[in-house]
Chains A and B, each alone.
Chain A
């Protein structure tokens, strides 16, 4: 089965409009790119689109109530919503060091979620009573 996919290249400000001609699961032709970077982007985007996911988790006793986190590697684009939702009700306790693993193997991707900043502890447990 032949089909055509429209893509905008995001690798540089040119923003080339590309057309991918797909036969079955194979790319037969890529048009519209003006450099090689665009070709690679189009292939990756067509076969296995991935994104970095950044979000926050609740943080107890920290300088701020939210700790920013990210996936250590790009995750499949289709899983962004699921992974973000799975972190909605997670809470960690300060202090946290930058790079610390917050969740291992998030949603079975074998990719970890890591802290993107250090969060110093400021509030004592007793202060919350």
Chain B
């Protein structure tokens, strides 16, 4: 039986990599009463099913698997006296004066008060409905991440002959994983003319196992009334429409979809937070505070990250700012709006303040070689290559913003003139 206190300095929604790092950040800022709430039976979130290595190269300078990365933070959080962990529970509601309504098997229905709240709910996978693939609705069509959980945690194989739609990293990782478990992977089919996953995964997950990657190809029809029997694949023209005259069939009993992630913001919308339609997450200030004072956001619920190391870095800051606020330390309000300009899809945070160093994460719209990342007329950073699947990190020193008296700064990615 978990005994909850009536008041916490910081309540963290989600015990994945973002929530755990936010707890560490809040603790380091001096908070003594922190609560992490997660709906699963253990902390670690999606890291627990990501058993491949490649995590932690930035933060720990070594290559860890997902469960190992999670373990480091779970140990740290467990060893801190001021952090309570509540599993198999979820948050039903947060009021504007930060009264949090929780429900769980070990606590029943409880209301507690919070000095600050950190949203760290992570993301959910896009599923078949999001891309409206024609065909039947048989068993055997699932997201790559669900298959990953089945294989790596629950000990279930999703099928024997597998076709993968979409070249996201989870799909590539699962192509290798299922091959090693004795399944046959017919190929990975990507509608875009380029792969959405990291080059490293194309080499180590597909090429190493001779799994074909078909670019500019999509699924035109899913066959099978009860179970998937085959799939019709077709090359797409420049307008992304399938060219049915060139279609071909592939026998398979399972289709995995790896077509992107959506930040899980049901709670944020319930709170009527101002949202960014591009990131799918809330708008945040330079302290990662949302439009509702005292509510912060970090990790994949804010915007989709490609490396967990970045999630950790961002979430430790969010936790620290939430902890400061809960202890009554207020920072000056942001007075500069940050705008996405040429070849910038989005940037987070949405506003800036000149009172401290600020980390900005952004993504480009299209690949570009030999370019310059430009912040107004104040900062230029040469970049050899930008691609949409790799997040760009920019640090802005306070001196730079102290020379700026306007209200709006633009970030652009422009061609290098001498190139």
**Chain A contacts to B: CB under 8 angstroms:** 8-10, 13-15, 51-56, 58, 63-66, 68, 70, 77, 80-81, 84-85, 88, 98, 116-118
Contacts and interface: CB of A to CB of B under 8 A. Distances in A.
A14 B177 CA distance: 25
A64 B65 contact: no
A51 B204 contact: yes
A85 B41 CA distance: 30
A9 B207 CA distance: 13
B373 to A, nearest CB: 15
B42 interface: yes
B125 interface: no
Interface residues of B, number: 33
Given A13-B198, A51-B204, A54-B65, A65 B53 contact: no
Nearest to B384: A14
Interface of B: 41-42, 48, 51-53, 63, 65, 67-68, 70-71, 151-155, 177, 180-182, 198-200, 202-204, 207-208, 384-385, 387, 390
B177 to A, nearest CB: 8
A116 B199 contact: no
Contacts of B71: 98, 117-118
25 contacts: A10-B203, A13-B385, A14-B384, A14-B385, A54-B53, A55-B181, A56-B51, A63-B42, A64-B153, A65-B153, A65-B155, A66-B152, A66-B153, A84-B180, A84-B181, A85-B182, A88-B181, A98-B67, A98-B68, A116-B51, A116-B65, A116-B67, A116-B68, A117-B70, A118-B71
A116 B203 CA distance: 24
Nearest to A7: B203
B154 A70 contact: no
Contacts of B68: 98, 116-117
Pairs A-B, 7 closest by C-beta atoms: A117-B67, A68-B51, A65-B155, A15-B199, A10-B200, A84-B180, A116-B65
Nearest to B369: A14
B63 A55 contact: no
Nearest to B387: A13
A9 B152 CA distance: 29
Contacts of B70: 117
